[in-house]
Amino acid sequence: MEWLTDPQVWLALVTLTALEIVLGIDNIIFISIQAGKLPVHQQEKARLVGLGLAMFIRIVLLFSLAWLMGLTAPLFSILNNEISGRDLILICGGLFLLWKSTMEIHEKLEGEEGHASAKGGITFASVIIQILMLDIVFSLDSIITALGMANRVGVMVAAVVVAVFFMMLFSGKISAFVDRHPTIKMLALSFLILIGVALIGDGFDMHIPKGYIYFAMAFSVIVEMLNLRMRRQGAPVKLHQPYVAEQSEGQDK
C-alpha cells in the first residue's frame, strides 16, 4: 500500500482522470443523441446504462493488456500501409459514426415526425446495442492513451471509474441542453462526423492531433453560445422527433 503515499501516483491519477473525462466528451455526445431518440421516461436509463457499459468495457480492456497490445500487430497491408486489429476497429467505428451521424441529421431535418410512435421502430435494446458498439471504439482509444500515461493498472481503473461517475453526474444536463437547442444538436452531430473522420485517419496512420479536434469543437460551441445569447427572442428551428409528445406521455402513464 506504499503507493498511497506516493505523490507521483496521485498526480498520475488526477491527470489521467482529467484526460479520461476529456476523451469521454465524444462518448457523452453520442450517448445523449442516441438516448434522445427514446421516449422521455427511458432516456435517463439509457444514458446511465450506456455510461455503465463504457466503464465496464474500459475496465475489462485494462485487465486484458496482453490481448490489447496484440491488436497492434499488423494483419495485412493496403497501399504499403500496415493494418492491425486496432486499425480495423477504428476504421469500422469511424465509418459507423459517419453513417449514423448523416442519417441522424437527415432524420432530424427531413424525416417524418413521430414515425417511431406509429411504427415502434426504435427500441431501448437497439439504442443500447448501438451505444455498446461505439463504447468499444471510444474505450479502445481511451485505454491506449491511458497505457501511455500510467504503469499501474489500479491507478488506471480508479481514473476510469472516477471519470465515468463524473460523466454520469453531468450527462443528464448536457443531454437536456442539447435537446433544448436544435442548433446545438446539429453541431453535436457535426462533431461526431469530425470524430469519425479522425478515427478513420488514425486507422490509416494519418493521425490528427486531438488538440486540434477539441479546439475546433470548443471554438464552435463558444460561437454558438454567442449566437444563442444574441438571438434569444427568436423561435428555434423545429427538428423532427421520432416520438411525438402525446405518445411519450401515454407511455409514462
Average pLDDT over residues 213-218: 82
Q: Coil, helix or strand for 75?
A: strand
Q: How do the domains of the chain map onto residue ranges? A: 2-73+80-231+239-252
Pairwise CA distance, residues 80 & 92, whole Å: 20
* pLDDT above 50 (res 249): no
pLDDT of residue 235 exceeding 50: yes
User: Which of the residue ranges 53-62, 102-111, 221-230 would you say has the lowest mean pLDDT?
Assistant: 102-111
Amino acid at 170: F
Q: What is the pLDDT of residue 251?
A: 45
The pLDDT of residue 248 is above 50: no
Helices assigned H by DSSP within 63-123: 65-70, 85-110, 115-119
The span from the CA of 253 to the CA of 245, in Å, is 13
- Distances in Å between the Cα of 154 and the Cα atoms of 1, 57, 136, 141, 242 are 11, 15, 21, 19, 43
Average pLDDT of the segment spanning 125-133? 84
Task: Assess whether pLDDT exceeds 50 at residue 200.
Answer: yes
Exposure b/e, 35-53, CB count within 10 A at least 16 = b: bbbbbeebbeebbebbbeb
Band of residue 198 on the pLDDT scale cut at 50, 70, 90 = confident
Q: What does the alpha-carbon distance between residue 127 and residue 243 come to, in Å, rounded to a whole number?
A: 14
Distance between CA atoms of residues 40 and 46, nearest Å: 10
Q: In the numeric block, which cell numbers belong to residue 108?
A: 432530424
DSSP of 191-252: HHHHHHHHHHHHHTT-PPPHHHHHHHHHHHHHHHHHHHHHTTTSPPP----SS-HHHHHHHH
Is the pLDDT score of 33 beyond 70? yes
- 47-66 pLDDT tens trace: 888 888 888 888 887 777 65
> 237 falls in which pLDDT band (50, 70, 90)?
low
Q: Taking the chain, what is the end-to-end CA distance rounded to the nearest angstrom?
A: 52
pLDDT surpasses 50 at 15: yes
Its pTM stands at 0.67
pLDDT for 4: 59
Mean pLDDT of the residues in the chain:
75
